[in-house]
């Protein structure tokens, strides 16, 4: 379970069967830009390098983790995903790699990426007994659902993110609903960011999915919760 929350950011790509080393053969290239900041920056840098450095006709297409990686594995499109958290879809990536539709090129984040469930530092300091997901789930009264204050709220990412799928599955696996929690759909990356900013401004409790490195976690100090269970590769 721990490995699902500690994903690796990797650079995937198939370039329409042509070599980027030969500008004459480069042609049209599609670059997926996921809807988070680091991926947007990297995709635009790749576009500049390909167009200005190699004479390509590179264009950016909007994507998200699950649909983009699935499309690359099944159709070989788009050509490049500069930042893709591939171990959120291990079977899809394995199949696409074995069939030659996906090629792992490198890592845009040499220090690695981290994702999981986070709580604000001030909240962690106020509740030192809460170190893990099971610890937190004992206290739905500490983070109230804005729509139903009788329940606790776990804030999830937008649809299309692999982390959103994993969080929904963890919500089921930990039987959070039975423990009195609601899984809140924040609707978008901006909605997720906004929920953290709002909690920080009001010094309220918050728990939900997020990842690093990001500008938001540079601004707001957050503490990642441990999964609270032993890792089992077979499971």
Would you put residue 27 in left (φ > 0), alpha (ψ -120 to 50) or beta? Answer: left
Looking at residue 16, its pLDDT comes to 33
Q: Which residues of 141-168 are buried (b: 16+ CB within 10 A; e: fewer)?
A: ebbbbeeeeebbbbbbbbebbbbbbbbb
Which candidate, 76, 90, 72, 75, places its Cα nearest to that of 34? 72
Last residue of a domain, one of 51, 77, 106: 106
On whether both 59 and 94 belong to a single domain, the answer is: yes
User: Within a domain: residue 142?
Assistant: yes
CA separation for the pair 221, 136 (Å, rounded): 18
Both tokens of residue 38? 């680091």
The answer on 101 and 12 residing in a single domain is yes
Of these ranges, 2-6, 127-131, 225-229, the one predicted with the greatest mean pLDDT is 127-131
Residues 129 and 94 in one domain: no
CA 202 from centroid of its chain's CA atoms = 26
Asked if residue 233 belongs to a domain, the reply is: no
**Is residue 230 one of the residues assigned to a domain?**
no
* CATH at 75: 3.40.190
Do the domain assignments include residue 229?
no
| pTM attached to this predicted model | 0.65
Separation of alpha carbons 166 and 175, rounded Å: 14
Region 14-20: mean pLDDT is 35
Which among 47, 76, 106 is the end of a domain?
Answer: 106
- What is the tally of structural domains in the chain? 2
Beta-ladder partners of 32: 61
Q: Which domain holds residue 51?
A: 2-106
Confidence of residue 110 (pLDDT cuts 50, 70, 90): low
CA distance 18 to 228: 47
Token reading at 14: 């198939």
Q: For 23-65, what is each residue's pLDDT tens digit?
A: 457 889 999 998 777 888 889 999 999 999 989 999 999 888 8
Q: Are residues 157 and 173 in the same domain?
A: yes
Cis peptide leading into residue 214 (ω within 30°):
no
Confidence of residue 112 (pLDDT cuts 50, 70, 90): low
Do 72 and 146 fall into the same domain?
A: no
Residue 231, number of CB atoms within 10 A of its CB = 11
CB distance 34 to 64 below 8 Å: yes
23 touches 29 (CB < 8 A): no
Q: Which of 106, 135, 152 is the last residue of a domain?
A: 106
Do 16 and 79 fall within a single domain? yes
Looking at residue 192, the DSSP 8-state letter turns out to be H
Q: Are residues 100 and 181 in the same domain?
A: no
């Amino acid at each position: 379970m721990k490995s699902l929350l500690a994903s690796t950011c990797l650079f995937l790509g198939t370039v329409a069967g042509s070599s980027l080393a030969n500008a004459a053969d480069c042609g049209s290239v599609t670059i997926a830009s996921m809807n988070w900041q680091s991926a947007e920056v990297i995709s635009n840098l790749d576009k500049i390098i390909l167009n200005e450095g190699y004479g390509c006709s590179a264009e950016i297409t909007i994507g998200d983790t699950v649909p983009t990686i699935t499309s690359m594995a099944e159709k070989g499109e788009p050509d490049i995903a500069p930042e893709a958290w591939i171990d959120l879809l291990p079977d899809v990536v394995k199949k696409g790699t074995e069939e030659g539709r996906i090629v792992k090129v490198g890592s845009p984040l040499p220090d690695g990426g981290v994702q999981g469930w986070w709580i604000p530092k001030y909240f962690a300091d106020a509740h030192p007994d809460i170190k893990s997901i099971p610890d937190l789930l004992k206290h739905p009264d500490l983070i109230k659902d804005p729509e139903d204050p009788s329940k606790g709220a776990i804030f999830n990412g937008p649809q299309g993110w692999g982390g959103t799928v994993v969080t929904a599955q963890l919500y089921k696996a930990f039987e959070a609903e039975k423990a009195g929690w609601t899984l809140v759909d924040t609707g978008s990356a901006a909605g997720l960011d906004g929920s953290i900013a709002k909690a920080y401004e009001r010094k309220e409790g918050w728990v939900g999915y997020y990842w690093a490195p990001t500008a938001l976690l540079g601004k707001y100090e957050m503490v990642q919760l441990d999964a609270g269970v032993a890792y089992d590769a077979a499971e």
